[in-house]
Structure 1
Amino acid sequence: MAQTTKYVIKYKLNGERRFEFAQLETGTKEEAMAALQAIHGQTDDVISDVRVSKPL
């Protein structure tokens, strides 16, 4: 089992600023985008301005 770290993903969903917490292995933008797509499902929502950081 891979080691994961808790990250904060800041992003915009249809232009509205939002954030989520997620357990990610590497904290890359691609991994964060995959986590957001899993959270929001396959909808027509537009996810943009994705930033990943460790929580304080």
Structure 2
Amino acid sequence: MITTTKTKYVIKYRLNGERRFEFAQLESNSTEEASKALAKIHEANDEISEITVSKAL
């Protein structure tokens, strides 16, 4: 059985031009994983850009 460790990260991004942030449990700080997490909570037609990921304090 393979187990993965998830860490709490803060995702900073722009949603339709507005600066936003979310916290998420991710396996790594990759923008691809963060993008997938954001896609789950926003509408399909929302424009998500300028994604940065860092460890939450």
CA distance in 1, matches of 2:28, 2:47: 24
Give the whole-Å Cα distance in 2 for the aligned partners of 1:27 and 1:40.
Answer: 20
Larger Rg: 2
- Structure 1 ranges of 4+ moved more than 2 A: none
Q: Which amino acid is 1:51 matched to?
A: T
TM-score normalized with structure 1 length: 0.91
Structure 1 residue runs of 5 or longer lacking an equivalent are none
Q: Aligned residue for 1:8?
A: 10
Number of residues of Structure 1 aligned to a counterpart in Structure 2 = 55
Deviation (angstroms), 1:40: 1.1
Secondary structure of residue in 2 paired with 1:26: coil
One-letter amino acid of the counterpart of residue 54, structure 1 = K
Unaligned runs of 5+ residues in structure 2 are none
TM-score normalised by length of structure 2? 0.89
| Aligned Cα root-mean-square deviation (Å) | 0.9
What percent of counterpart residues are identical? Answer: 62
